[in-house]
Chains A and B, each alone.
Chain A
Amino acid sequence: MPDGAQPVLDVRDLKTVFKVRGGEVHAVNNVSFNLKPGELLGVVGESGSGKSVTMMSLLGLLPTPPADVQNGTVTFDGQDLLSVDPETLRTVRGGKIGFVFQDPMTSLNPVYNVGMQIMEPLRKHMGMTKKEATVRAKELLELVGIPDAERRLKDYPHQFSGGMRQRVMIAIALACDPKVLIADEPTTALDVTIQAQILELMKDLQERLGMAVIWITHDLGVVAGIADRVLVMYGGQIVEQSPTRELFKNPQHPYTRALLKTVPRVSGGREARLAIIEGQPPILGAQPTACPFRDRCDVAFDRCSQENPPRYAVGAGHDAACFYDANTGAPRDA
């Protein structure tokens, strides 16, 4: 990834609130990040930290109400996706931006065969004839490693294994040669050996097609293996952003540091007892006015409950939203 290249996607100050019975959930708070051409950006963070809502907000996929995207800009191809008309957004979505989401709303339809589901975006976004689309659909199934692709186009989702269904989803997301692929936990339900197949495939596609990828996962091992850069989310905010290697070697935010300690490994030394993060995730009832991690943080001090820390630059492409400086072991200057 060339440094300083013009980002393909630039997200600024994104804020999404859900109106629920008895109040609000401030799920995403002033989230800013960008994605460079051909890079693979990993997104990690606790369950409920806002990873999925962030990505669904920027693609306009959240039902409104209850969701309300209150602020922000999402620049893609010279336009702001949050202010374009719905028709333009639909053309971008599933066309130049492919996506695979956790939720069943965007998964395979059991009543259509797999071929039809891959051909649909090809005909809609690329204006292909039925014949052209069939040829391309077969190529796509081959690309994601499904044997006997031509015959399998006529099969229905239930005739595929779980791993194969996920590969079909990825094939659909890749159908229109997207510039950006957003994949939300696409491998959680998978087995390690099938997951390894898919991760290899992703790396290969990214290199061959020059596509940029956002990959959301709970699995730090996956991130270590495929991401160029990582965003760490906590309580609806980005708390750390870093090149991958740097994040694992030199984590700065107390949440990232704690998270890295909780995961056991299959090689190297074996810990007698697993580290844990005490306490509960924050309740996101209002615009935060303090650090969302303060109640669980082992280095929190007065300032942490008085202000919400901005993202401080701590190295090249590396920033952390914390008042405490992990390198000096002292609070940052006010």
Chain B
Amino acid sequence: MLDAPKSDRKLVAVENLKMHFPIHTGLFRRHTGDVKAVDGVSFDIYEGETLGLVGESGCGKSTCGRAVLRLYDITDGSINIDGDEIGSTPQGQLRGKRPTMQMVFQDPQASLNPRMTVQAIIQEPLDEHTNLSKEEKRAKVLDLMDQVGLNRKFAGRYPHAFSGGQRQRIGIARALALNPKFIVCDEPIAALDVSIQAQVVNLLEDLQQEFGLTYLFISHDLSMVRHIATRVAVMYLGKIVELATREALYDAPLHPYTKALLSAVPEPDPDLHDTMDRTILTGDVPSPANPPKGCNFCTRCPAVMDICKQEDPEYREVLPGQFVACHHYNGITDAAEIIAASEAQ
């Protein structure tokens, strides 16, 4: 795996994306508030790279992935994919754009229709978006099955006859059917056994090499993201708090939340557990319907200062390619000072 992006062309550019879900309460279902699931995130994804998106349950990862593919009508922001601005395009006009962008879902069980054969499931997008003949479609489906390592003989079987890892392959074959450029993988391995996870991740990497695919890889598994991603974005309560190359993020994280998150990952090595300095965060994540004043992380941050409870920190590029939203880096641009500010926390 190359570390530098394969190209410097931005395939996906997201600017100030917001996705708020209205809360209606009372007898008259009045609009009384909003779940700010995604609350102003900006990031780019370069062609051929994998951007990892990590963060705790409920921080808005899936909502972000779905919003980028316009599976929602977004609250605000712009989304540019492969040169087209689709942020405010009406749903009806998105159809032509759909083949370029696809999604692989978390739960292989729930995302496949149990009453359809594997053949029919993989073929569905072809039925919807192409004018291929019946024979052409059949041939294409068998090709796809080969590509994801599913035995062609199983084309007539139903999803229940497959293991979790095989079901995830069916979902991947289906996502590949229309030769997409960009795939959002939403926790594609979370429901799988450890030994099967590796198979699916290897497959995703092979397909990326072969077809030059670009991935947004959503996961709460920080070790797996380190393996697959070129760059990584860390979300907390609807916002990106840090985005950096894999090396910078894992070796020299700047945001207090990224540091806590990494130190909480249990490593499969008993010696490390004895020597490692852990930051155990206390308390629970606040509700996205009622985020705290100031920095979203201020209620749990081990390095909190007075200003954090007053003002929302600016998200900016503090080091080349490393974006952070934290008051500890206010007003400094010099690399040595940034590192000193990080170590002082």
Contact = CB atoms under 8 A, between A and B. Distances in A.
Contact of B220 (A47, A191, A248, A258): A191
B273 A225 contact: yes
Nearest to A200: B280
A25 to B, nearest CB: 16
Nearest to B223: A264
Interface in B267-281: 267-273, 278, 280-281
A264 B227 contact: yes
Interface in B220-242: 220, 222-224, 226-227
Given A266-B226, A266-B250, A272-B1, A192 B198 contact: no
A189 B190 CA distance: 10
A192 B227 contact: no
B205 interface: yes
Band of interface residues on B: 35 or more
B280 A192 contact: no
A62 interface: no
A270 B195 contact: no
B223 A218 contact: no
Interface string A34-75: 000000000000110000000000000000000000000000
Interface stretch (A98-106, A274-282, A297-305): A274-282
Contacts of B201: 274
A80 B97 CA distance: 66
Interface stretch (A3-11, A130-138, A157-165): A157-165
B268 A163 contact: no
A276 B198 CA distance: 6
Contacts of B260: 193
A259 B223 contact: no
Interface in B121-146: none
Contacts of B1: 272
Interface string A229-262: 0000000000000001100100000000011101
Given A193-B260, A199-B266, A276-B198, A264 B226 contact: yes
Given A191-B56, A248-B269, A262-B197, A161 B202 contact: no
A161 B220 contact: no
Nearest to A247: B270
B220 A192 contact: yes
Contact of A192 (B224, B265, B271): B265
Nearest to B222: A266
Contact of B284 (A161, A220, A262, A271): A161
Interface in A93-138: none
A197 interface: yes
A147 B282 CA distance: 10
A265 B267 contact: yes
Contacts of B280: 193, 196-197, 200
B193 A47 contact: yes
A196 B278 contact: yes
A273 B270 contact: no
Contacts of B264: 192-193, 195-196
A259 B284 contact: no
Contacts of B205: 273
A222 B266 CA distance: 5
Nearest to B287: A161
23 contacts: A163-B284, A190-B57, A192-B220, A192-B222, A193-B264, A195-B264, A196-B264, A197-B280, A197-B282, A218-B194, A221-B265, A224-B269, A224-B270, A224-B273, A259-B194, A260-B268, A262-B194, A262-B197, A265-B223, A266-B223, A275-B198, A276-B195, A276-B199
Given A221-B266, A265-B226, 19 more contacts: A46-B194, A147-B283, A161-B285, A192-B264, A192-B265, A195-B264, A195-B266, A197-B282, A200-B280, A218-B193, A223-B268, A224-B270, A225-B270, A245-B271, A260-B268, A265-B269, A272-B1, A274-B202, A277-B195
Closest 5 CB pairs of A and B: A221-B266, A191-B56, A274-B198, A196-B264, A220-B268
Interface of B: 1, 56-57, 163-164, 193-195, 197-199, 201-202, 205, 220, 222-224, 226-227, 250, 260-262, 264-273, 278, 280-285
